[in-house]
Structures are given as C-alpha cells and as structure tokens.
Structure 1
Amino acid sequence: MVFVTGATGILGRVVALELLKRGKTVRASKRPTSNLDDVKHSYQFYTENPDEFFNKIEWIDVDFDDIHALQDALKGVDEVYHCAAKVGFNPKDDKEIYHTNIKGTENLLFACEGSEVKKFLHVSSIAVLDLFNEKGELDESSDFNPKDEHSAYALSKHLSEMEVWRASAEGLNTVIVNPGMIVGSGNWGNSSGDIFPTFEKNSFTFSGGTSYADVRDVAKICIELMEKNMFAERFIIISENKKYADLGKQIRKALGLKEAKILSDFQLNVGVWANTLFGWLIPVLRMATRTNVKAISSLNIVSNQKVKDRLNYQFIPLEETVDFHLKNYINDKKLKK
C-alpha cells in the first residue's frame, strides 16, 4: 500500500491518481475540512474514469501533530509520497508554515521508524536552491546559502529537507524532488491553483519570473524515481523558465483581457516602504517585503538536465501546459455561472 500526504492538493491528488492507474492501493491523508468534491471533479480532466479511480482511494483524516495517528495511518504501508505542505509568502502565515512543513515532516519520518515503510519521497521546492553552477544556472548541486535572506517558506523547505537527509543517513530509502511552480487543474484559488485567478484578477505583473512544471509531469516523475529506486538524491522538476509577463500575456489573452502592465522597481520599493510604515494597519501591505520583492523581480535559470538524462524524460511544453489547464479553469468557471 502507498500513503500519499496532501492528497487534496494540486499535486497530491494527481500522484494518487497516477499510482491508482498503475494498479497501486492508495491511502490518502486529508483534513476534516478538505473538499473531496473538488478532487473528484478534477479527476475528469486526467482520466475517462474519474469516479472509478476516486472511489478506490482510502481517505483518512490525519493530525500530523499526533504521532500515534500517523503510525496508524502507516499500517500496511510500504511507500510514502509526502506532498503535504503549507505554501505562502505572507508573514502572517510564517508560524503555520514552519510548523506544518518542518514539524509535520519530522513527525511523519519518526512514525516511519519501526513501520513497514521502505521508500519515502519528499516534495520540496526550487526555493531552497541558492548557489549557481559554472553555467550560471541552479541545479541539484546548488546548496542552500544560510547567509542569504529567505522567505519563511524557503527556509521551512530547507529544514524539512534536513529531516529527510537525516532519515536517509539512518537507513530509510528517500528521494527529494524540487519542483518549480506547479501548474494543474482544480484547487483553484489555493496555492499553485491560484495562478489563473491571479492573472485574471490583476492587471499588473512583475519584471521577474520563475520555473514551471505541469502537474502531470511532476506526478509521473515522482513515481518513476520511486519505481527505479533512485534514492539518496534530489531531482529538480521543471519544464521551462519563464517571465511572469510572458506567461500572463498568454493567460490574459485567452481570457479576453488586456495585457498586464509590469510594475517598476520603484513602485515595488514604494510598497516595501509603505509596509514598513503602515503594514501593521493594512494587512495587504505585509506582502511587500524585501525578500518577496527580490523574488518577483528576478528570473533564475533552473536546469532540468539531470531528470531528463536519468529518466530519459520529455517534458510537456509550458505553452501546452497552460492551454490545457486554462481551458479546464475556464470550463469550471462556466459551470459555476
């Protein structure tokens, strides 16, 4: 049996589905307030038999602060895909981000001790990559630099990785994947699922960019890495590096909207200044931190060469990814009218 954490999230739900397609038995964690209808609905975008696959999942409520509950969840489990995480860049979420991402991972790994779990995959992020290689790119050798200023999310992912490496040193077969921003269907408005609503609602964008990956690619690569026993390593999973403005142009055009304007460095720095003075009074200003402004004003080139070479993998082009998932978003909007 395979245990998938964060199975209601944009990635975890597709990992669970791909495992089911391969004949695996899946147990999946959720919160008591999780929207399983959204998960079930999104499966129609990935398979012709959404109900059949969804009904095969054994859903369980898991409190990651409860070691005994985690140990019960792992009974009969030999593989774990740890997709659960709190993603956010608002300082008000920092405490929850640290607790969920670090303590949750630590407790899950502790529960694995003495269990039947033989394989453990941890979903991290490219946010932990700092040091550039000789080509000026970020790759799997790009270590985290503690001297740099990081978001709470990036720091939490780094410290979560440290827990996984510790477990690896103690004998657990582990692999870490570092996806870019994951583009998928469903979970609209939450985490990576916010990409289309954000570009739709905002007529402005930023000068920088980031690295993207189709959720279908990320899920398949995760499973292939586990099946091929590629342990004690990390693998970056991204298809392309892209500027926000270029991606926003494609999305807003398809939505019949005008091209978004790029906010200047001056405007962003005014936001940081306003946050310093009025952030305590106006919550939205708290997002304008120096760390966040730096992140949205730069585009680091991230390499996906390792996973392409090791798995002989061909990524879905980003333009095709956006077309596919944006159509799903538009169709879902029509259904709600």
Structure 2
Amino acid sequence: MILVTGGTGLIGSHLLFHLIANGNKVRSNFRTQESLDKVHKVFGYYADDPSHLIEQIDWVQADITDVGGLDSLFDGVEYVYHCAALISFDPKDFKILERTNVEGTANVVNLSLKHGVKKLCYVSTIAAIGPSIKEKEVTEENEWSEAKASVYGITKYEAELEVWRGSQEGLSIVIVNPGVVIGPGFWKSGSGSFFTYASKEKMYFIPGGTGFVTITDVIDAMTKLMDSNVHTERFILVNQNMTYEKMFRKIAPQLGVAPPTKEVSKFMLECFWRWDWVRSNVFGKRRKLSKSVAKGLYRQKKYSNEKIKSELGFTFEDMDKALAFCCDKFIEQE
C-alpha cells in the first residue's frame, strides 16, 4: 500500500493519477468533498472515465495535524509520499503554517517509524534552499539562512529537519525541492494564477525570475527516487530558470492574448508591500505581498538541477509542450 498525503493538491492529485494508472494500491487523505471534486477535474484531463480511477483510491478523511485520527491511515502502508502542506506568505499565518507544515510533518514521520514504512518521499520547496552566493546557481548544499526567507520557506525548512530526524531514527527518506510547479487544474492559486493573470491581458509583469518545473517532471522524479536505492538525499527539481516576463511571453500567445509589457518597478514594489502591511494591520485584510517576498522579486534566482540528472540520469520534459497543454486545458474550462 502506498500512502499519499495531500492527495487533493496539485502535486498530490497528479501523483495519485500516475500511481493508480500504473496499477498501484493507493490510499490518500482528504478533508472536504469539494477537495475531491478538484481531484476529479485533474483526472479528467488525462482519462475518459476519471470516476472509475478515483474509486480505486482508498480515501480516508483525516488531517495530518490530528494525531488521534491519523494512526489508521498508516495501517498496511509500505511507502509514503508526503505532499500535504499549507502555502501562505502572510506573516500572520506563521503559527498555522508551523502547525501544518512542521507539526504535521513530524506526525507523518513518527507514524511512518511506528508502522515500519519502508521509504518516505517528502515534497519540500526551493523556498527551503539556502540563498545564492555571488549570483551563482543555487545547489542543494547552499547554507540555509532565515534572514531573507518567507514564513512559508521557514516552516518548510523546519519540516525538512523533522524528515532528517526521522532518517536518523531509521526511516529511509528522500526529499525533493521543486521550483514553481507548472500543471493544470488549480487556476486560482500557485502557478495556475499565471494563466489566469495572463488571460486577462494585464499590462504589468513582476521583475526577477525563479526556477520552474513541470508537474510531469516532479511526479517522474519522485517515483523514480522512491523506486531507486537512493536515500537520505535531497534534490532540487527545476526544469528551467526563467524570468517572469519570459514565462508570460510563453503563456499569453497560446491563450490568444498579448503578454504584459511593463515591468513593475522596485519603487512600486516597495510602496505596495508597505501599503499591503497597512491594509493588513489597520483593516484586517490578508497580506498579498510581504516584505521578504517583495525583496525576493528584485532579482533572477537560478537553481541547479545537476544533482538529479547525475544521480538518476534524469531528463526533463519540454517546457513549451507542457505550457501548451496547460493553456489548452485552461481554454477548455473558460
């Protein structure tokens, strides 16, 4: 039995499809019926009868922060993909981020040890990787620094420490650190918002850039690592380092719209995060742009994918084809 936590998210839902399509016995947790509807939508991108596949998954209503309700989730489980996480860059969400990402991961690690799980794959993020040194490509060995990290990055790094702790106690583990994951299905959050924003033919794009990776590459790397003898290692998963401007220039034409042409200036970003702080603290609004995130948008961040290529002989897919697929699915739903 394979357990996938967070099976109703972007990575989790695509991973479930891959595992079920390849004949694996799979269990996953969920929280609401609405989240299962999202999985059905994702499966529908790849299968004519998504309901038939979804029914083959052993669904258990459980929350990774609820220790009491988690034990039965691990019965008979041999392998675990821990994808569940909360994503937020609002400093006010630090406590709930810590509870979900750190304490939740500690629960998964502890139960994996208790039930004798053979191997665990933890889905982290490049936000938990140390910053660039002298503009060089970031590698898995870059030293962590909390000073410039987002609250999300901090909690994901602390979650990694729980996974490393599990490895010291005898659990076989691998960690993957994906960049911005490009995949269909969640158009109002994460990378999906790139397609939604581009479709509205907006004028401005944010400066800087980061590492991007397709959902297919992430799933392929995770499953190959779990099937291999590799353990006690972490791997950056980045297909291409790209500016946000370039990403929009790739997406917009395939949506039949013009790409944004004006860069948001540093002055505008500085003003916006300050105003965002005011509206959050005075009017109680959710933060859209924290100081740490704004500062990170000033430059192009570059990440090395040499380790995964060297370890597995891994080949990344064509990013343009993946973007075209996403654009087609986005248009179909409009």
TM-score, length-normalised on structure 2?
0.93
SS of residue paired to 1:41 = helix
> For 1:172-211, what aligned pairs fall within 5 Å after superposition?
172-201=171-200, 202-211=202-211
Task: Report if aligned partners of 1:88, 1:191 keep a CA contact under 8 Å in 2.
Answer: no
After superposition, residues 113-152 of structure 1 pair within 5 angstroms as 113-132=113-132, 136-146=136-146, 148-152=147-151
Q: Hey, what does 2:95 align to over in structure 1?
A: 95
Shift in alpha-carbon separation, 1:297–1:116, aligned structure 2, 3 A? same
1:223-262 alignment to 2 at 5 Å?
A: 223-260=223-260, 261-262=262-263
Deviates more, 1:98-107 or 1:34-43: 34-43
Q: How does 1:1-337 map to 2 (within 5 A)?
A: 1-47=1-47, 50-132=50-132, 136-146=136-146, 148-201=147-200, 202-260=202-260, 261-282=262-283, 286-333=287-334
Q: Which amino acid aligns with 1:301?
A: K
Which whole-Å deviations, capped at 9, do the CAs of 1:271-314 have from their partners, x for residues lacking one? 13334544423566833332111122221110111111221121
Asked if the contact 1:121–1:174 (Cα under 8 Å) also holds between the matched residues in 2, the reply is yes
Moved more, 113-122 or 156-165: 113-122
Q: CA deviation at 1:41?
A: 2.4
Question: Which letter does structure 1 place at the counterpart of 2:19?
Answer: L
3-state SS, counterpart of residue 60 of structure 2: strand
Which ranges of structure 2 fall in alignment gaps of 5 or more residues?
none
Encode CA deviations 1:249-291: one digit per residue, 9 max, x unaligned.
2222222333212101111112133345444235668333321
Q: Distance in 1 between matches of 2:12 and 2:277?
A: 37
Offset, 1:35: 2.6
Q: CA deviation at 1:49?
A: 5.1
Q: For the Cα contact (< 8 Å) 2:67–2:107, is it kept in 1?
A: yes
**Cα RMSD, aligned residues only:** 2.0
Q: d(CA) in 1 for partners of 2:28 and 2:286?
A: 37
Shift of 1:66: 2.4
CA shift, 1:213, in A, is: 0.9
- 1:183 CA drift (Å): 0.9
Q: Please give the alpha-carbon distance, in whole angstroms, between the structure 2 residues aligned to 1:86 and 1:221.
A: 22
- By how many angstroms is 1:129 displaced? 1.5
Counterparts in 2 of 1:23 and 1:176: CA distance versus 1, 3 Å:
same
Greater alpha carbon shift after TM alignment, 200-209 vs 284-293:
284-293
Give distance in 1, aligned partners of 2:274 and 2:116: 53
- Once the two structures are TM-superposed, the CA of residue 120 in structure 1 deviates from its matched residue by 0.6
How far off is 1:45 after superposition?
2.2
Say whether the 8 Å CA contact 1:133–1:139 is kept in structure 2.
no
Normalized against structure 1, the TM-score is what?
A: 0.92
Matched residues in 2 for 1:252 and 1:169: separation? 47
Separation in 2, partners of 1:286, 1:235: 31
Q: 1:284 to 1:206 in 2, by over 3 A?
A: farther
Q: Secondary structure at the match of 1:177?
A: strand
State the Cα distance separating 1:33 from its structure 2 match.
4.4
- 8 A contact 1:240–1:317 mirrored in 2: no
Deviation at 1:62, TM superposition (A): 0.7
The 3 A distance-change label for structure 1 pair 307 and 278 is same
Secondary structure of 1:113's aligned partner: helix
Q: What SS class does the counterpart of residue 165 from structure 2 fall into?
A: helix
Give me the whole-angstrom Cα distance separating, in 2, the residues matched to 1:52 and 1:82.
24
- Describe the shift of the 1:278–1:62 C-alpha distance in structure 2 as closer, same or farther (beyond 3 A): closer
Cα deviation, residue 209, structure 1:
1.0
Distance change >3 Å, CA 310–CA 97, structure 1 → 2: same
Q: For 2:127 and 2:214, locate their aligned partners in 1 and report how far apart those are by CA, in whole Å.
A: 17
Structure 1 pair 132/272, CA: closer, same or farther in 2 (3 Å)? Answer: closer
Deviation at 1:228, TM superposition (A): 0.4
**1:9, CA displacement in angstroms?**
0.6
Q: Following the alignment from structure 2 to structure 1, what is the Cα–Cα distance between the partners of residues 298 and 135?
A: 21
Q: Which moved more, 1:136-145 or 1:29-38?
A: 29-38
CA contact (8 A) 2:132 2:301 kept: no
Question: For residues 45-96 of structure 1, what are the alpha-carbon distances to aligned partners after superposition, in whole Å with 9 as ceiling and x for unaligned?
Answer: 2345533322211111112232232111000001000001111223343332
Q: Is the 8 A contact 2:130 2:138 kept in 1?
A: yes
| Percent identity for Structure 1 against Structure 2 | 32
Q: Which amino acid aligns with 2:319?
A: L
Contact residue 211 and residue 238 of structure 2 kept, 8 A:
yes
Instruction: Name the CA distance, whole Å, in 2 between partners of 1:144 and 1:113.
Output: 27
